[in-house]
């Protein structure tokens, strides 16, 4: 504030000069429109032509609101905290108070009040201070609208400058507004746009901020305070109670003078302190989300990235953003994650759920509070639910199996492997000898059968079988392309190798999921399988509605939120066969399965476990016909073991998150396997087992600088293609731990007092 603005004499001089000069020039300028005894617009069309678009809306835009699929509020977005009210939603005493103190002739003039400005000048000069302003409510509405909708500093300065030119512009626009809108509409707009201090724009925000009530419920003691704030918002009753009280009394005296309150009301309210009951600010942004903070962050990325909107678009238009979030699933996921991985634990726990057949993202949970960027305080601004951080291990074996099915190898395709198995096709780099040599993997433990079908190898998570299966494919490209088709991306340069590079280097480690994996991508890829081979782009927003409840459209008149983007990427029979194969990893009765802890009785559930080298990342991804969800538990930095395997904590989280959801609905069934892809069936028992006991899950095991795992030569498999160029990638982790034999006692692998 300038020195002259602080000085009462300076303010009076400025007001007097402005009123006198502007009054004379306004009278001259408006002469063509003056008729009869009052100011009546003769050619209102000419006046309305000058109205900026900001002044043609009936109400100012309010805060953007993000809501869940059921309408439950998630958060709001705004620069100016404002919730527009209708005329009926504002108490009568509030409307009376603002008119009395700001423009007592509001209902008599046509936007300009020469009589009122002259009276104000005389009164202010006599008092030696500014008691009344020289602008009508309509003129103030013009000024505040142009100021608050300014796009840059130059426009803001023009809206505020103390010049005759600005006063003339305000006068002309005020006349035009009065021709276009009723008095009640203008008053309502004014109360919705006025600034009341403490970040409160509009009467509803002010009522909430200072008194924790709605605008409709404001009383005389409250309304008189708020009416006094519009000319001095700095002196709010929270920070400056004495100044706010003095201003309130001015309002009360004016209302009494105009006979709008009684002697008793004046005495009672003036004698009492301001009845403050401060409320909090409206939530603003994902850091204030009531539910699903990381989901909220994903939504904003979708809006600004996929849809190309700006944050200004989001904040300034009063939109309602209707999301796909299911609060019941989000609450269940949050509880499940925190039951296993505590809030702020150095080990990250992530759960993402998506709907097969639509791509709607249903829940997104991380054992962090979103937004503050202080991991030590349990806060995080990195969205681990979407960003590829660590690998997901043997979950990638599903993509190899899908590629093999498509190339004619059925689910019953049987391979006998040695332990370890050395590839006849692929090479890896041995860091001990600094040479390329045939790629070799082994299984964890000594209890895998020598001979397995593809189905058995998938649910037991045999490393050696899948390297042999990659040999049968002859090159890694079919598996990589299958992963892409199902929904995986490989474009995050920080932790991922581009698909083209994996293919060019013919990396056999692909089956063992060693690169960073987005938990959301993983959930979506398995959702594609659940949906019978229909891949949908992940989508967190159903629609965006404008303040009138109509869908927001683009320049072509189309809704900015497109319809679900889905396509058939693999044959339904292939996907259905794969679902039946993966059921055996979860549902009872399959010896040496790895994902049994995810099972919920009475429901068909398919899934796959995964564990990377050193056990610093463990994963379970499971699905039903209705839902697909991935769980990853990992260290964001370092490679120390998190304890256990993918069938441990990740499968437990999945079970706990889905139990309250699936328990409340009927059982859905997967389609039957397609004989074209099943071969002799997906139920053949394992043969040639070396041992009947095993551990709970699958993990990567490294022997020396080569990945070690049980391996067998392909039986009845196509001859391998010519050997490709050696890989330049580091030897990856394999991803299979000893699978569990339900009949044998299981050790406590992760220190939680439970087997596995």
Does residue 183 share a domain with residue 51? Answer: yes
Gap between the Cα atoms of 574 and 237, Å rounded:
69
For residue 125, being part of any structural domain is answered with yes
Q: What is the predicted pLDDT for the residue at 296? A: 98
Gap between the Cα atoms of 291 and 80, Å rounded:
23
Q: Which domain holds residue 522?
A: 393-539+554-683+690-714
Does residue 404 share a domain with residue 263? Answer: no
For residue 659, being part of any structural domain is answered with yes
For residue 347, being part of any structural domain is answered with no
Contacts of 403 (CB under 8 A, 6+ apart): 473, 478, 479, 481, 482
- 3-state secondary structure string, 24-46? HHHHHHCHHHCECCECCCCCHHH
Half-sphere exposure of 668 (CA within 13 A, CB side): 16
Q: What is the predicted pLDDT for the residue at 714? A: 30
List, as one string, the DSSP characters of 88-143: GGS-HHHHHHHHHHH-TTTTTSSS--HHHHHHHHHHHHHHTS--S-SS-HHHHHHH
Domain-ending residue, one of 241, 271, 301: 271
How many domains does the chain divide into?
2
Does residue 397 share a domain with residue 267? Answer: no
Domain-ending residue, one of 256, 271, 286: 271
Does residue 710 share a domain with residue 568? Answer: yes
pTM: 0.83
Does residue 263 share a domain with residue 411? Answer: no
In DSSP terms, 622 is beta-bridged to: 607, 629
CATH number where 176 lies: 1.10.3810.10
Report residues of the chain scoring pLDDT below 50. Answer: 1-6, 17, 21-22, 24-48, 684-756
CATH number where 502 lies: 3.40.710.10
For residue 144, being part of any structural domain is answered with yes
For residue 346, being part of any structural domain is answered with no
Domain-ending residue, one of 251, 271, 291: 271
Phi-psi region of 461 (alpha: psi -120 to 50; beta: other; left: phi over 0): left
Gap between the Cα atoms of 103 and 97, Å rounded:
10
Query: Which SS3 state, helix, strand or coil, does residue 514 take?
Result: coil
For residue 534, being part of any structural domain is answered with yes
For residue 429, being part of any structural domain is answered with yes
Can you give the length of the chain in residues?
756
**Distance spanning both ends of the chain, measured CA to CA:** 69
Gap between the Cα atoms of 200 and 206, Å rounded:
5
Q: What is the predicted pLDDT for the residue at 70? A: 97
Q: What is the predicted pLDDT for the residue at 735? A: 42
Specify whether the CB–CB gap between 320 and 544 falls below 8 A: yes
* Helix 183-193 and helix 92-102, axial crossing angle in degrees, nearest 10: 90
For residue 282, being part of any structural domain is answered with no
């Amino acid at each position: 504030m300038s020195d002259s603005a602080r000085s009462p004499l300076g303010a009076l001089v400025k007001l007097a000069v402005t009123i006198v000069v502007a009054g004379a020039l306004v009278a001259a300028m408006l002469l063509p429109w003056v008729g009869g005894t009052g100011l009546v617009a003769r050619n209102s069309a000419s006046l309305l032509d000058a109205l900026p678009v900001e002044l043609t809306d009936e109400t100012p835009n309010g805060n953007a609101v993000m809501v869940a699929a059921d309408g439950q509020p998630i958060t709001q977005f705004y620069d100016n905290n404002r919730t527009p009210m209708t005329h009926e939603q504002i108490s009568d005493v509030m409307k009376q108070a603002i008119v009395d103190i700001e423009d007592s002739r509001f209902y008599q003039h046509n936007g300009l009040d020469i009589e009122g400005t002259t009276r104000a000048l005389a009164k202010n000069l006599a008092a030696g201070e500014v008691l009344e302003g020289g602008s009508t409510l309509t003129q103030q509405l013009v000024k505040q609208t142009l100021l608050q909708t300014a796009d840059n500093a130059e426009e803001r300065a023009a809206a505020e400058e103390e010049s005759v030119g600005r006063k003339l512009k305000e006068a002309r626009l005020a006349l035009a507004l009065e021709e276009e809108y009723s008095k009640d509409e203008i008053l309502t707009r004014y109360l919705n746009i006025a600034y009341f201090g403490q970040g409160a724009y509009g009467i509803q925000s002010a009522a909430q901020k200072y008194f924790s009530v709605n605008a409709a419920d404001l009383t005389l003691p409250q309304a008189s305070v708020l009416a006094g704030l519009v000319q001095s918002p700095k002196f709010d009753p929270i920070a400056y109670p004495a100044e706010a009280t003095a201003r309130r009394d001015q309002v009360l005296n004016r209302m009494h003078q105009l006979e709008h309150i009684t002697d008793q009301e004046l005495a009672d309210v003036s004698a009492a302190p301001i009845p403050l009951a401060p409320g909090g600010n409206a939530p603003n942004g994902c850091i204030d989300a009531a539910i699903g903070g990381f989901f909220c962050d994903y939504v904003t990325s979708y809006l600004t990235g996929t849809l190309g909107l700006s944050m200004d678009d989001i904040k300034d238009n009063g939109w309602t953003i209707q999301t796909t979030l299911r609060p019941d699933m989000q609450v269940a996921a949050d509880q499940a994650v925190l039951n296993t991985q505590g809030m702020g634990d150095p080990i990250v726990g992530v759960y993402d759920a998506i709907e097969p057949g639509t791509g709607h993202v249903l829940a997104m949970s991380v054992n962090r509070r979103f937004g503050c960027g202080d991991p030590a305080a349990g806060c995080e601004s990195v969205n681990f639910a979407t960003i590829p951080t660590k690998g997901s291990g043997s979950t990638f074996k599903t993509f190899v199996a899908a590629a093999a099915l498509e190339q004619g190898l059925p689910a019953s395709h049987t391979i006998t492997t040695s332990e370890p198995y050395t590839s006849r096709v692929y090479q890896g780099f041995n860091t001990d000898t600094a040479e390329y040599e045939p790629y070799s993997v082994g299984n964890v433990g000594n209890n895998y059968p020598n001979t397995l079908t593809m189905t058995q190898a998938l649910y037991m998570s045999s490393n050696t079988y899948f390297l042999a299966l990659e040999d049968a494919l002859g090159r890694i490209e079919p598996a990589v392309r299958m992963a892409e088709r199902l929904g995986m991306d490989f474009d995050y340069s920080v932790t991922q190798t581009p698909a083209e590079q994996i293919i060019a280097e013919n990396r056999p480690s692909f089956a063992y999921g060693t690169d960073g994996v987005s938990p959301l991508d993983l959930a979506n890829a398995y959702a594609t399988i659940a949906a019978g081979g229909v891949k949908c782009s992940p989508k967190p927003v159903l629609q965006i509605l404008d303040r009138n409840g109509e869908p927001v459209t683009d320049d072509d008149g189309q809704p900015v939120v497109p319809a679900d983007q889905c396509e058939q990427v693999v044959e339904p029979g292939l996907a259905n066969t794969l679902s039946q194969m993966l059921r055996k990893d979860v549902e009872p009765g399959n010896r040496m399965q790895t994902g049994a802890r995810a099972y919920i009785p009475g429901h068909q559930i398919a899934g796959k476990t995964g564990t990377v080298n050193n056990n610093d990342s463990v994963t379970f991804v499971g699905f039903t016909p209705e839902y697909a969800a991935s769980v990853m538990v990992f260290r964001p930095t370092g490679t120390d073991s998190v304890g256990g395997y993918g069938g441990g904590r990740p499968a437990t989280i999945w079970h706990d998150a889905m139990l309250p959801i699936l328990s409340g609905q009927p059982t859905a069934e997967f389609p039957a396997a397609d004989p074209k892809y099943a071969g002799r069936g997906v139920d053949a028992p394992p043969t040639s087992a070396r041992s009947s006991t095993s551990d709970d899950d699958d993990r990567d095991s490294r022997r020396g600088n080569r990945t070690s795992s049980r391996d067998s030569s392909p039986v009845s498999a196509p001859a391998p293609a010519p050997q490709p160029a050696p890989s330049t990638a580091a030897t990856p982790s394999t991803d299979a731990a000893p699978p569990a034999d339900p009949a044998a006692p299981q050790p406590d692998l992760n220190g939680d007092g439970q087997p596995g």
